[in-house]
Amino acid sequence: MRNKVLVTGGLGFIGSHTVVCLHEAGFEPIIVDNLSNSEISALQGIEELIGYSPAFYQSDISEFPFLSKIFEDHEISAVIHFAAFKAVGESVEFPLKYYKNNMGGLITVLETMKAYNVNSVVFSSSCTVYGEPNQVPVLEITPMKEAESPYGATKQMGERILRDNASWCNTQCLRYFNPIGAHPTGKIGELPLGIPNNLIPYLTQTVAGIRKELTVFGGDYDTTDGTCIRDYIHVMDLAEAHVKAVERLIGNQQLGSFEVFNIGTGKGSSVLEVINTFEEINQIKVPYKIGPRRSGDVVKVWAETNKVENILGWKAHRNLSNMMKDAWNWQLELAKKTSNT
Ligand code: NAD
Ligand code: UD1
């Protein structure tokens, strides 16, 4: 019998790719999502990729009775907890919305797991917990800085809550760096709602003609070409890291384990490198200008990945060209979908 893994937020960007990888690795994914930041079409994309429609519950994870129903219906072996709000700027504007959904959701997930004696969870954390690091690359033991946004605070607090509950719940905290790209088939990807804040959806929408021009936020930083540096990671590599994390949790019968891993490539790329790679691999120009710095931007951050490679046995395999190719392919597929509706 296949182990069942409950994926909260399983129709979102990272969740949908993880559902596909879980299936391919021999797990049975069970999805819960309230569609607050996703669309039901993601389920169709998943179905086309895996050949069947996985169990899907359209409900809010903060509702104990709804969540309990899923644990009644299925014998769950582990939970991957993606469901949360993730827009940094919005969290500054509406902090209570973020604390309520991200903390309330996590607590209800844990309460339900405890009630049903499920004791393995993977938590979506973020490199945002490090803030502007004194040294790069950052290691998992690099001290956290005070969170710069309520969103960042929910990730720090989420890690703390899980650490405090390690006596009964084994946890893998995955600190993602900058997830981008899409499934190479273009059947699933990220759904940007409204004007994107993040670099890649803004870039692809600009090239598609939806936006006039990409503004590079700052060209005078103390970096190789003056633009900020990030550790971009392909969403498929990230999804595969979750499979490794679940395998490690299920293979560990002893309680009391709380582990944190950086999930990045270990390589930093500047904004201009991203643009150049996009142009080269897709043979298409990106209209852009260098503009003022964006307030709150970290100048440079990338991951030290020795720990995740040695302990989890995971390493990113896809490079920036793969990410740019798949991101553009997804934008083209999205355009087709929108023109058909
Ligand atoms: P996403 O918004 O695409 O996916 C999250 C999904 O959770 C959405 O489908 C949304 O509808 C659902 N959801 C939100 N609140 C819910 C609730 N209360 N009940 C049920 N469903 C709910 O985001 P993503 O990019 O896939 O991110 C997944 C996780 O990874 C989040 O926790 C996010 O904070 C974290 N993360 C994301 C990034 C990134 O750059 N994408 C970086 C670091 C960490
Ligand atoms: C942001 C969040 C981070 C969150 C992540 C994923 C901040 C300060 N950080 O990361 O906490 O986990 O999104 O949601 O908001 N850029 C441009 N022009 C643009 C957009 C971005 O030049 O139009 C640059 C940025 O200055 C940055 C890089 O591109 O150097 C990446 O930006 P972005 O995609 O927004 O991610 P982060 O800022 O790294």
Residue ranges of domains in the chain, CATH in brackets: 4-182+234-264 (3.40.50.720)
Within 8 A by CB and 6+ apart from 253, the residues are none
Give residue 130's identity as a one-letter amino acid code.
Y
Cβ(275) – ligand 2 distance below 6 Å: no
Distances 149 to 14, 152, 235, 297 between C-alpha atoms, Å: 22, 5, 24, 12
What's the 8 CA to ligand 1 centre distance in angstroms? 9
Distances 56 to 41, 53, 110, 238, 283 between C-alpha atoms, Å: 12, 8, 20, 22, 39
Q: Which residues are catalytic?
A: 151
* Integer Cα distance of 135 and 13 in angstroms: 30
**pLDDT, one tens digit for every residue, the chain (341 residues):** 899 999 999 999 999 999 999 999 999 999 999 999 999 999 999 999 999 999 999 999 999 999 999 999 999 999 999 999 999 999 999 999 999 999 999 999 999 999 999 999 999 999 999 988 999 999 999 999 999 899 999 999 999 999 999 999 999 999 999 999 999 999 999 988 889 999 999 999 999 999 999 999 999 999 999 999 999 999 999 999 999 999 999 998 788 999 999 999 999 999 999 999 999 999 999 999 999 999 889 999 999 999 999 999 999 999 999 999 999 999 999 988 877 66
Cβ(18) – ligand 1 distance below 6 Å: no
Q: In 4-38, which positions are buried (b, 16+ CB within 10 angstroms) versus exposed (e)?
A: bbbbbbbbbbbbbbbbbbbbebebbbbbbbbeebb
170-176 and 4-8 strand pairing: unpaired
What's the 199 CA to ligand 2 centre distance in angstroms? 6
pTM of the complete model: 0.98
Cβ(62) – ligand 1 distance below 6 Å: yes
